[in-house]
Structure 1
Amino acid sequence: MKKFNILFRLGVIAIVCTFLSCNQGGSSPADTPTSGEIKIGVDESFAPILESHIDTFMGLYKYAKIKPVYQSEGLVMQALLQDSIRLAVATRRLNQEEKDAFAREKITPTVIHIATDGIALIINKSNTDTTLTLQQVRDIFTGKFTDWRQVSGAKASGPITIVFDNSNSSTARYILDSINLKKPLPSNTYATKSNRNLVDYIAQNKNAIGVIGVNWISDRDDTTTTSFLKKVNVVGISTKNAPTSVEDYVQPYQAYLAQGTYPLTRQVFIISREARTGLGTGFASFVAGDKGQRIVLKSGLVPASMPVRIVGFSEEEE
């Protein structure tokens, strides 16, 4: 009987030790869809809206902590490939090289469309040429026009300076791909390292034209947006080569982004490398869900899964 008791106790100890060692080995996930701590990478163009998403999510789930890293899109995608971040917010899907890299790691990334955004062109307050045709935009960014006097109908004069937030940013890539059609940017192009610095530069240089994500100027209830709009003018763009009225020019307002009448639009995605249902999955689901899409709507961008209400008036109603 004594021998049996000893064996029984040893057996219990062995079971307990096995259980503890398994837990220490990491079989239990460190985070769940609503708890834990992760780091995510965000294209700096979307810092304002993602700050709102993160604050709201962590307010709802007190055991969740999301640490955003705001960088140029190029650095964000690089961090995702290197497993430095769990998910990325970017304006493009994965390219073939990136898909192959994940395939070698036996990882199947999840890509979720969350919004439609736009690219805004901003100029100094003293520059009264607040409208450009799409062809004029192309002529400026390919270097055909280097002085404001070359822009048909322009009142300003002086050498044009093109300014981006970062040479590796999504806005620079958009101009290269969609406006320049792969042609290089001219020598009068500069980068300021951040969107805030970009706005300040435009505000201080009368001949500069800047390229910025619409998210930085779209939420009229946001103090940063209102301060930016006091410093610079937003350019209206026409797709017609010979516009006949001011109605032919459109600015990057939410309704025009939704209708597709504003020509410089782009899509926003969440790309997750999470192999299980963890905090990254929970946050991505929140952003793509009802509450997250309402935040997108309020920010002035176009939600991926919620229609924008466009109110029209007939002549009789006016």
Structure 2
Amino acid sequence: MRCLRQLVWITIVTLVLAGLSATAIATSHKLVLTGSSTIAPLAVELGRRFESLHPSVRVDVQTGGSSRGISDTRKSIADIGMVSRAMKSDEQDLPAFTIALDGVGIIVHASNPVTNLTRQQITDIYTGKITNWQEVGGKDARITVVNKAEGRSTLELFLSHFELKNSAIKPHIVIGDNQQGVKTVAGNPHAIGYVSIGAAEYAAQHSVPIKLLPLDGVAASVASVRNGTYPLSRPLNLVTRKTPRELAKQFIEFARTEQAHDLVEAQYFVPISID
């Protein structure tokens, strides 16, 4: 009887250890990406295809803004950070890998008769000097100003381009990701916002009632970003802490190959050609 009990316990311990080992293996085959909401939808699609090529791998994508991507990568909370802007001087410790190009565009409701705004008019709208669409050739209606939350790279790029401080902005609504921005403007005929050109063009092509306005006389479009004429373009980066570990390295290399170009273009971004 004692021998039988010992055999049972040995079997249980063996199974537990095997389970722990399997858990460790599973954990080592999981990739966590956090950060930019602009990159996140593309990262999800990249993750699905990467998982299909590597069945034992699981890719977890979480948003929260480019600042989160930087912070989580530095703290090793994320394997890869998603950053939808150029890297800053104090971020050079993190290797960055560009996977696509995008732009930031001004959006209004599709029914808005305004088709163009000057740089000064945009500045005046966002700082509260212009409050009615009639002042810029539109209908007699109060302008609803939609701004981005702190920590979002889209906000940083907008402020930099228009030489503004966030404290000078007079918003009525503050949103986080691009989808919130698109939905907010689509649901309010008198709203104005700024979002990823890729996200806006994708939405407009799928019958969401918004339209992109030209910036500095250049059409806000994927084509303008591709040919380099759009004035507010940006790189979409994946960043890692020091040299990426093997699984993260494989994912980044995959994301930058022609094998992923169709996924990039499906999100209305411009693929990067790697020699």
Please name the residue that 1:73 is paired with: 66
Alignment of 1:194-233 (within 5 A): 194-219=177-202, 226-227=205-206, 229-233=207-211
> How many Å separate the matches in 1 of 2:205 and 2:85?
28
1-structure distance, mates of 2:86, 2:234: 11
Query: Structure 1 residues 110, 265: closer, same or farther in 2, change over 3 A?
Result: same
Partner residue in 2 for 1:15:
none
| 8 A Cα contact 1:160 1:208, kept in partner | yes
* CA distance 1:170–1:226, shift in 2 (3 Å): same
- Counterpart for residue 108 of structure 2: 123
CA distance in 1, matches of 2:244, 2:166: 41
Aligned to 2:18: none
Unaligned runs of 5+ in 2: 1-20
CA distance 1:203–1:298, shift in 2 (3 Å): closer
2:272 counterpart of 1:304: yes
- Does the 8 Å CA contact 1:79/1:85 hold for their aligned counterparts? yes
Summarize the Cα distance change of 1:193–1:61 in structure 2 as closer, same or farther, 3 Å threshold.
same
User: 1-side partners of 2:147 and 2:27: how far apart?
Assistant: 39
Q: Say which SS state the counterpart of residue 51 (structure 2) adopts.
A: helix
The amino acid that maps onto 1:77 is: I
Q: Tell me, in whole angstroms, the C-alpha distance in 1 between the residues paired with 2:183 and 2:269.
A: 23
Q: 1:109 aligns with which of 86, 89, 94?
A: 94
Q: CA RMSD in A?
A: 2.8
Amino acid at match of 1:305: S
Q: Deviation string for 1:94-141 (max 9, x for gaps)?
A: 434444xxxxxxxx5321122110112221233110222334323333
1:74-153 map, 5 Å: 74-99=67-92, 109-151=94-136
Residues 123, 208 of structure 1: 8 Å contact kept? yes
| Shift in Å, 1:178 | 1.6
Letter in 2 for 1:266: R
The 1-side partners of 2:35 and 2:46 are apart by 12
Residues 1:42 and 1:75: Cα distance change in structure 2 (over 3 Å)? closer
Measured after TM superposition, the shift of residue 236 of structure 1 is 2.7
Change in 2 beyond 3 A, CA 1:186/1:30: closer
Paired AA for residue 176 in structure 1: L
1:284 aligns with 2:248: no
* TM-score (normalizing by structure 1): 0.70
Q: What CA distance in whole angstroms lies between the structure 2 residues aligned with 1:51 and 1:164?
A: 26
Is this contact kept in 1: 2:104–2:194, CA < 8 A? yes
Worse-superposed segment, 72-81 or 196-205: 196-205
On the 8 A contact 1:142/1:183 being kept in 2, the answer is no
User: Identical aligned pairs, as a percentage?
Assistant: 22
Q: What SS is found at the alignment partner of 2:215?
A: strand
What TM-score does the superposition give when structure 2 sets the normalisation length? Answer: 0.79
1:296–1:232 CA distance, 2 compared to 1 (3 A): same
Q: Secondary structure at the match of 2:117?
A: strand
Matching residue of 1:179:
162
- Asked if the contact 1:118/1:266 (under 8 Å) is kept, the reply is yes
Which structure has the greater CA radius of gyration? 1
Closer/same/farther in 2, CA of residues 232 and 53 from structure 1, 3 Å limit? same
Amino acid paired to 1:180: E
Q: Structure 1 residue 205: deviation in Å?
A: 2.2
- Asked whether the equivalents of residues 35 and 70 of structure 2 are also in contact (C-alpha less than 8 Å), the reply is no
- Amino acid paired to 1:58: E
2:140 corresponding residue in structure 1: 157
Counterpart for residue 153 of structure 2: 170
Displacement after TM superposition at 1:306 (Å): 6.8
Aligned-partner Cα distance in 1 for 2:126–2:265: 31
Alignment match, 1:236: 214
